[in-house]
Amino acid sequence: MNKAQHIAIIMDGNGRWAEQRGEKRFVGHEAGAETIRDITTFCANNPEIQRLSLYAFSTENWKRPKLEVEFLMKLLSKYLEKELPIYLNNDVRFEVIGDTTRFSSALQKQIKKLEEATKHCTSLVQNLALNYGSRNEILRAVNSLKDSDMITEESLNNALDCKHDVDLLIRTGGDHRLSNYLLWQAAYAELFFSDTLWPDFTSKELEGIIQSYKVVERRFGGIK
């Protein structure tokens, strides 16, 4: 049976969830943050899962209305400030992938502080993708290797923000696309698409997807 050691999730549907309820979009983002806590806790207590990568803010999300972006930055700051006990209680190591240099210096310090405070945790690594885009990640990796005699698959992989292949990639919210997320790492990932909007996504649904993944025949280009 397959093991979902690295699960990646595109957390889509916060805004639509709120709009369906006649609420402002920021209400959906707040509800989505609660779902992150539930899913992270579930994964931390599943010994097969080693890494959980969550697409929180993309390089393209800066195109959203200014007020929404400002709210997302404040929500991120609030999340980073209050989540330390959750990470520590569940033995979760927090790491960020993406180009954080565009964030405020205060937000960058919060990120580094939480990474440092949880670096000893071993039950689960939670990658939070912030100002992340796979094309941007690959471009930065290539530029960092431009003085190398030859760029190999191994050297490029080691220069990426995330150096771990994805086993299972899930997108909530009903859309069927990867949206510039972990394109290198998901080369042979199994893809699952859920119509559930992210704030309504539960650990029970995730567990069902994992069980379906376990019996998928993975050939990696070969024949079995």
Residues 220, 188: contact at Cβ < 8 Å? yes
Of 8, 5, 25, residue with least CA distance to 16: 25
The count of other CB atoms within 10 Å of the CB of residue 25 is 18
Residue 201 and residue 16: Cα distance in Å, rounded? 14
Distance (Å, whole) CA 179 – CA 133: 8
Catalytic residue among 12, 14, 127, 167: 12
Helix boundaries (H) for 145-185? 153-159
Does residue 127 have an active-site annotation?
Answer: no
CB 43 within 8 A of CB 5: no
State how far the Cα of 62 lies from the Cα of 168, in Å rounded to an integer: 27
What is the Cα–Cα distance from 138 to 65, expressed in whole angstroms? 27
User: 14, 38, 61, 200: which one is catalytic?
Assistant: 61
Q: Is 136 a catalytic residue?
A: no
Query: Which residues carry out catalysis?
Result: 12, 61
